[in-house]
Amino acid sequence: MPQMAPLSWIILFVIFATTFLLFSVISYFLFPLSATASLKSSGGLSSSPFNWKW
């Protein structure tokens, strides 16, 4: 079986890197962050039912 040329490895890396970046950007903008909206509606940061005392 012949080995892959270095140029083919570079092209393969570029394809995977652009696919990963495209997927990351799309998934970042697809799901809106609702943390600020929940903080405004609850009125504070203590919305957790647990009371941690360190």
Q: Does the reported pTM lie above 0.75? A: no
* Residue 45 vs residues 19, 34, 38, 39, 50: alpha-carbon distances, Å: 37, 14, 9, 6, 12
Alpha-carbon distance of 41 to 48, in angstroms, equals 14
Residue 41, pLDDT above cutoff 60: no
Tokens of 41: 């509606």
* 7-37: pLDDT as tens digits: 888 899 999 999 999 999 999 888 877 655 5
Alpha-carbon distance of 11 to 29, in angstroms, equals 27
Burial class (CB in 10 A: 0-12, 13-18, 19+), 28: exposed
Residue 1, pLDDT above cutoff 50: no
